[in-house]
Amino acid sequence: MALVHSFEKNGNTLFKYRGQIPLFLFLLSIPTVYFTDYQFLNDCPSLDLFLLITCIVLSFSGQVIRAIAIGTANKYTSGRNTKEQVAEALNTKGIYSTVRHPLYLGNYFMWIGIVLFTYNIWFVLVVSLLFWLYYERIMFAEERFLEHKFGEEYVSWSMKVPPFWPSFKNHIKSEIPFSMKTILRREYSGISATVIGFVFVAFLREWFTAGKPQFLASHGIILVLALFFSFVLRTLKHKTKLLFEADRS
Res 247 pLDDT > 80: no
Rounded CA-CA distance 9/4 in Å is: 9
Res 18 pLDDT > 80: no
Rounded CA-CA distance 210/58 in Å is: 28
pLDDT at site 233: 92
**Helix spans in the chain (H):** 3-16, 21-34, 39-43, 45-71, 102-116, 121-150, 152-160, 180-210, 217-239
- pLDDT tens digit sequence for 121-145: 999 999 999 999 888 888 888 888 8
Please give the angle made by the CA atoms of 134, 139 and 145, to the nearest 5 degrees: 135
pLDDT band at 212 (very low <50, low <70, confident <90, very high): confident
Rounded CA-CA distance 121/119 in Å is: 6
Give the list of residues 6+ apart from residue 221 with CB closer than 8 angstroms, or none.
none
Which has the higher per-residue pLDDT, 55 or 143? 55
Closest among 183, 168, 162 to 245, alpha carbons compared: 183
3-state secondary structure 70-125: HHCCCCCCCCCCCCCCCCCCCCCCEHHHCCCCHHHHHHHHHHHHHHHCCCCHHHHH
Res 120 pLDDT > 90: yes
Domains with residue ranges and CATH for the chain: 18-239 (1.20.120)
Q: What is the pTM assigned to this prediction?
A: 0.88
